Structure 1
Amino acid sequence: MTRIISGLAEVSAGYDALFCDLWGCLHNGKQPYPVAVAALQAFRRQGGQVCLMTNAPRPSQYVVAQLDRMGVPRDAWDLVVSSGDAAQDAMFRGAVGRRLWHIGIEKDLPFFTDIPAEHRDAPSVTSVPLAEAEGIVASGPFDEATETPEDYRERFEDAAARDLPMLCANPDIVVDLGQTRIYCAGALAQFYETLGGRTLYYGKPHGPIYDRARALMGLGADARILAVGDGIATDIAGAEAQGIDSLFVTGGLAADAFGPDVEAPDAAMLAEWLDHQGRSPTLAIGRLR
């Protein structure tokens, strides 16, 4: 049964490393949560390592720059690993071809233009219109503020009929930007699958992003890892698949499901909701603190 805690310090001594989600846990897309920052700083002071693990579809250096602009202090984390890192590696290896239709916004263009050193001698990847494409890369909708997956039906039906594979650079379905909920690339990929399309995923809950984090952090098979996140289908499902403990932040995407006090989830409501989801996180907390 999932244990509800009031602070990370209650359990932190039992773990060597955290794989901590960003959006909904450490920040809301616009500003950091001070209590979450303090919790990560305290964990590192006691000797733990913190990997900020995000399904952002951009290489990790751009995520770091965004955190710096928000004012997240560098002493709150050791490493940032993004879905963009793992997906970008697959793209430059030719996983979905080399003439690609890109679905996404301008800030995601470094996914194509910032070529990792190990791929600089590889055949080029070119962004082309859908009609000329041999594959698709989805980093998010063209217009995050207004579009839904349904807006892509006609184009996706055409792509699926041509058997174009889609590389999903961000498996998240939705995120909250401040008070606004927006669709992510995961929602587009999910919709594409319903139309018969083939998809490839590299972020949470899929294995490559965890493998990358472990390797970069030097974590052995016996490392005690706690995955922290508000995404039941990404953070918690991924932790379960990896066989590591998880801390479900109830005050994120599903906050309305657990009672009126976002800081204190109702135990009965939480148990019922988790049973419906078919998930059993090790721990739960209202807000990371």
Structure 2
Amino acid sequence: MISVVNFTKQFKSYFIIALGLFIGSIGWTAFLIPSEIVGGGVTGIATVIYFATGFKVGYSVFIINGLLLVLAMKVLGFGFGVKTIFATIVLSVFLWFLQSIFIEPLVSDRFMCAIIGGIMAGASAGIILSQGGSTGGTDIIAMMINKYRNYSPGQLLLTLDLIIISSSYFLSNSIEQVVYGFVAMGVSAYCVDMVIEGSKQSVQIFIFTKRFNEIRMELITNLDQGLTELQAKGGYSQEDVKVLMLLAKKKDSQAILKMVKVLDPDAFISMGSVMGVYGQGFDKIK
């Protein structure tokens, strides 16, 4: 039974990663590349190569990521996992296939292409990272540099993206093209944060109820929620009461509220967002 559950979870995770890669590939092939906009990362490098030589982006992404993975295994060890290799291969296939379909941008306005392409590329990266995946690329370069030099990986990635996007100027001698690339990069970075933080948002809930045991058992058995029992005393009544305190994902909060409403319509509930939750079932302290 455990192996079946694990297989189902893994299949779902890989499916979501593939969906994220598909979204990102459309952003590149239907908006950015046909509008001659260069973004960041290895796909940005591949786009520069495509504009200079006509060599398809999917081929370049596969070759560059493949070389980086081999080099990283020698420098950093085999620590990237199957998901990175899977994402690299699937991304290359999607880019190769979709670039043959989208010859012209879906939107004629170039600025809108930068915005939409950036949104889709950023959402794609956020979805992949939220599933524990990675497309490798410039992340690997930053990790290798960081191993020997005390530089922030975030600053390294930003620097690499700035270099990649700025290099597009030498292809067309157009500052406008570089600006559009920076717009796409900024929108993409914002969307990555929104997707990742959105999937990690948690809430803290206090439940004051006379049907304490029923709600406690419902939370544990049917909603699979961990909780803590608190001993308290009413400030006015001075009666001893029990309070349920639990931390849950924001997406699960509505199910909890509806359950409490059904079992005890008179229950008093306090719910607030928390900055971060670390431990089993939530984030890991890094």
Structure-2-length-normalised TM-score: 0.21
The structure whose residues are more often strand, as a share, is: 1
The structure whose residues are more often helix, as a share, is: 2
Greater gyration radius: 2
Structure-1-length-normalised TM-score: 0.21
